[in-house]
């Protein structure tokens, strides 16, 4: 029996084997999603959502819930006087955005089938780490987020990205968390869009970010924003700034050309550039390689270790290419997607993930026929002086025109045998 939609939510039929929010939104791709536990009725005859995930776009906050066969979604807007027709149009826009952001036109089960034939390691992981796909993020936010990732961990990157939003972007809307078991009044949370390049390019930003605990990354962020503004700004004012639009055009370049452009920016090395290529610029074959991925390659695929004391030498360009090429030969056209499964499975936070989800795995085995939709582990460092509470958010949408017009509609035919 299909789980009914929660009040105010709409439904999208989507097996969890095609998208697992619990893994995709927490495995180090995007850093501004918030997660809230929901009150669960254990007597309910159907599987019900246990978490609500939220993120802030430029003109709305998107709220998601999930059960094994359905994704539920709703939007919250600054205006609360939308007519029924306006509300229906806005929710249709949100659905377009969801399909684009999660790249739902790519059949993940087909990819998993292919990887399982190619790679016994991924075949063993499949039953636990299902539904892991690559997000199609806004390139500007993705770029700045991974500049923050240098020598960092997921918790601190999340705190930094949240601090950028709270300190450099006005709140769009405030709303309380979902109801909890206590039923006590809950304080509203402010949701902030991601700040644009022109804001982070200001000369005083670097010193302010250092005071917030960004360290040497503060200069990289300000310099990159300044470089993009100086090179790509136009006299015409637009809601999505010209530097942001320029970054989006890199989706049309081949991988080598897009990487070359990214490497010109301050604080962007090969690994950061490859993260941006994979997670926002449609370069599905790219495998970002850091010491964490290198350890996976040595452990599972018998690639050479780093030279130096206890295997802790420098990642050379030659070794980077060797790892990337070797894993790419194994996994094929969507190697970057396959890499994310290995990366997630090796994170400490997922060490017991999926070990007790027998019912959930049963739903996966029967879901093929129902789907018809066309950072390294480190010790926590010094906490940011800005406290990141529960209001972690996200941005992408242009306030000036409809979201449906802004989201690039793409149709892909996935070929995974070559």
How is residue 2 annotated by DSSP?
Answer: P
From CA 418, how far away is CA 412, in angstroms rounded? Answer: 15
What is the number of other CB atoms lying within 10 angstroms of the CB of residue 50?
13
Interhelix angle 217-232/242-249, nearest 10 degrees: 90
Q: What is the pLDDT of residue 1?
A: 59
Q: What is the pLDDT of residue 187?
A: 86
From CA 206, how far away is CA 58, in angstroms rounded? Answer: 24
Q: What is the pLDDT of residue 145?
A: 99
- Residues of the chain where predicted confidence (pLDDT) is lower than 50: 309, 358-402, 405-406, 408-418
Strands 34-37 and 10-13, bridge-based pairing: unpaired
pTM: 0.84
Q: Which residues are catalytic?
A: 271
- Domains of the chain are 1-105 (3.30.310.40), 108-134+284-351 (1.10.1670.10), 136-178+188-282 (1.10.340.30)
Q: What is the pLDDT of residue 239?
A: 83
From CA 305, how far away is CA 314, in angstroms rounded? Answer: 10
Q: What is the pLDDT of residues 370-389, one digit of tens each?
A: 333 333 334 333 334 333 32
State CA 60 to chain mean position distance.
Answer: 18
Q: Greatest CA span in the chain, whole angstroms?
A: 66
Q: What is the pLDDT of residue 48?
A: 86
């Amino acid at each position: 029996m299909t789980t009914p939609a929660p009040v105010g939510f709409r439904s999208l039929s989507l097996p969890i084997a095609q998208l697992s929010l619990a893994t995709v939104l927490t495995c180090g791709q995007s850093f501004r999603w918030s997660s809230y536990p929901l009150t669960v009725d254990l007597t309910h005859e159907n599987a019900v959502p246990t978490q609500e995930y939220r993120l802030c776009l430029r003109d709305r906050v998107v709220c998601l819930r999930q059960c094994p066969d359905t994704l539920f979604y709703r939007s919250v807007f600054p205006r609360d006087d939308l007519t029924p027709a306006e509300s229906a149009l806005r929710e249709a826009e949100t659905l377009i955005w969801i399909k684009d952001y999660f790249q739902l036109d790519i059949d993940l089960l087909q990819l998993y089938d292919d990887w399982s034939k190619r790679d016994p390691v991924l075949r063993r992981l499949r039953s636990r780490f299902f539904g892991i796909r690559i997000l199609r993020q806004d390139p500007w936010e993705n770029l700045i987020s991974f500049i923050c990732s240098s020598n960092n961990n997921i918790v601190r990157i999340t705190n930094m990205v949240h601090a950028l939003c709270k300190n450099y972007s006005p709140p769009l809307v405030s709303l309380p968390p979902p109801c909890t078991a206590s039923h006590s009044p809950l304080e509203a949370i402010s949701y902030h869009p991601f700040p644009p390049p022109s804001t982070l390019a200001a000369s005083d930003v670097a010193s302010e970010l250092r005071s917030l605990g960004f360290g040497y990354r503060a200069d990289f962020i300000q310099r990159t924003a300044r470089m993009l503004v100086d090179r790509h700004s136009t006299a015409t004012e637009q809601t999505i700034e010209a530097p942001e639009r320029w970054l989006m055009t890199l989706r049309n370049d081949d991988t080598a050309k897009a990487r070359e452009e990214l490497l010109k920016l301050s604080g962007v090395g090969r690994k950061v550039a490859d993260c941006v290529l994979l997670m926002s610029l449609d370069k599905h074959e790219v495998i970002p390689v850091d010491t964490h991925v290198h350890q996976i390659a040595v452990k599972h695929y018998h690639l050479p270790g780093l030279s130096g004391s206890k295997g802790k030498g420098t990642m050379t360009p030659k070794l980077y290419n060797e790892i990337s090429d070797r894993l790419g030969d194994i996994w094929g056209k969507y190697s970057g997607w396959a890499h994310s499964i290995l990366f997630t499975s090796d994170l400490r936070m997922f060490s017991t993930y999926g070990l007790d989800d027998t019912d959930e795995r049963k739903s996966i085995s029967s879901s093929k026929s129902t789907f018809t939709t066309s950072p390294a582990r480190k010790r926590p460092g010094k906490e940011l002086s800005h406290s990141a509470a529960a209001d972690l958010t996200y941005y992408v949408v242009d306030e000036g025109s409809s979201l449906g017009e802004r989201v690039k509609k793409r149709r892909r035919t996935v070929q995974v045998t070559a």
